[in-house]
Amino acid sequence: MGDARGIGPEVLLKAVAEPGTEKEFEPLLIGVESLLAAQAKNLWPNGLPLRVEKALGRVVEVGGSSESFPALKDLRGWRKFLLGRPEICGSWAGRAIERAVGLVREGRAEALVTAPLDKSALNLGGYHYPGHTEMLSALAGGVEVAMMLAGGTLRVVPATTHVALSRVPELITVELLVGQCRVIDRGLRELFAIENPEIALCGLNPHLGDGGLAGDEDQRVVSAAAEKARRAGLAVHGPFPADTVFVRAARGEFHAVLAMYHDQAMIAIKMHSFGRGVNITLGLPFVRTSPDHGTALDIAGRGIADPGSMLEAARLAARLCRSGKRRTG
């Protein structure tokens, strides 16, 4: 369900209602049933689509007992109740993730598709993680993971995720980059059935530092990581300047690009396929995807959110379960 204040419940239900999806995946919703029902009634006041009605009849509840929150019936009442209560939404979102991981690992579900959450609300709710990716890694036993964004012909991974830009130079190490290359290589093989993955490293500084005039990290760290990865048998290329490597990858020269920081990767993928991109967590012992957008609190409750990325996340999760070499476990 994601954060209850955002567009997560809306895009979730719209994706479930999409005609033809009954042939692609069977949804098991995890969230607050009465809130999801209110959202559905707001979207379809003249009667729910049969697939939505069926899904609402088997929601895995994370809202607690009926005494935990008011028995609100309409979306307006729910939104008024949730206003100024981010800790409740964060707690529900965290519980939903925990429950979902449990169901997948127990074999009661095949894949996990998560709606957007608010990271500050998640922390206020008692779950102290920078985001979904780090929380899922912890729940899976601390495995090394990579946050891949895929859309169209482009796949990107940021080596560092939700950290201040000023910290990136100190955080990118040879060990981190080589580890991320290993996770990407394995993910491309196991999930996407790519037999010989080709990975490009994106430089940190403009023009790879211009021979040291604009920083030495690309020679001292990124190039060293590329060489070490190649010695380990990985097909790693670069580093290449950020202003060209994503274009080359989108044209098919590389299967994935390892970027150095969050926005370097996100700007590229969102320019390439905004609204249809999908977040895939590589390295987990199960399939997990999510849409490429956030909670969009500014339009939540208005019924105008585009479910395209959420729908593609669900469809991709189903395809990965069917075609990937690794199975949920």
What is the share, in percent, of the chain residues with pLDDT greater than 70?
Answer: 95
Closest to 244 measured CA to CA, from 197, 201, 210, 196: 201
Asked if pLDDT for residue 280 goes beyond 60, the answer is: yes
**The dihedral of CA 316, 122, 286, 260: what is its sign?**
positive
Tokens 């105008």 — which residue? 304
- For the chain, how far is it from start to end, CA to CA, in angstroms? 22
State the average pLDDT over residues 30-40: 92
State the average pLDDT over residues 86-106: 93
Higher model confidence: residue 292 or residue 243? 243
**The dihedral of CA 295, 301, 304, 308: what is its sign?**
positive
State the average pLDDT over residues 9-26: 93
pLDDT-derived band at 66 (thresholds 50, 70, 90) equals: very low
pTM as predicted: 0.88
pLDDT at 198: 98
pLDDT-derived band at 65 (thresholds 50, 70, 90) equals: low
pLDDT at 91: 93
Quote the strand ranges of 114-180, DSSP E: 146-151, 154-158
State the average pLDDT over residues 29-51: 93
What is the share, in percent, of the chain residues with pLDDT greater than 90?
Answer: 78
Which residues are bridge partners to 236 per DSSP?
199
What are the pLDDT digits (tens) for 182-203? 999 999 999 999 999 999 999 9
Per mean pLDDT, which range of 35-44, 53-62, 182-191, 316-325 is the poorest?
Answer: 316-325
> How many helices and strands in the chain, by DSSP H and E?
14, 10
DSSP annotation string for 87-100 = HHHHHHHHHHHHHH
Instruction: Locate the domains of the chain by residue range.
Output: 1-140+285-313, 144-283
Encoding tokens for residue 213? Answer: 């005039």
In single-letter form, the type of residue at position 104 comes to: V
Q: CATH assignment of 144-283?
A: 3.40.718.10
DSSP annotation string for 18-41 = STTGGGT-----EE-HHHHHHHHH
State the average pLDDT over residues 150-175: 95
**The dihedral of CA 8, 110, 62, 97: what is its sign?**
negative
For 216, list phi and psi in degrees, rounded to 5.
-110, 5
Encoding tokens for residue 281? Answer: 């967590």
Cα 321–chain centre separation:
16
pLDDT-derived band at 76 (thresholds 50, 70, 90) equals: confident
Higher model confidence: residue 328 or residue 100? 100
Average pLDDT along the chain: 91
Closest to 218 measured CA to CA, from 193, 196, 238: 238
- Cis (ω within 30 of 0) for the bond into 239? yes
State the average pLDDT over residues 63-74: 62
What does the alpha-carbon distance between residue 103 and residue 233 come to, in Å, rounded to a whole number? 36
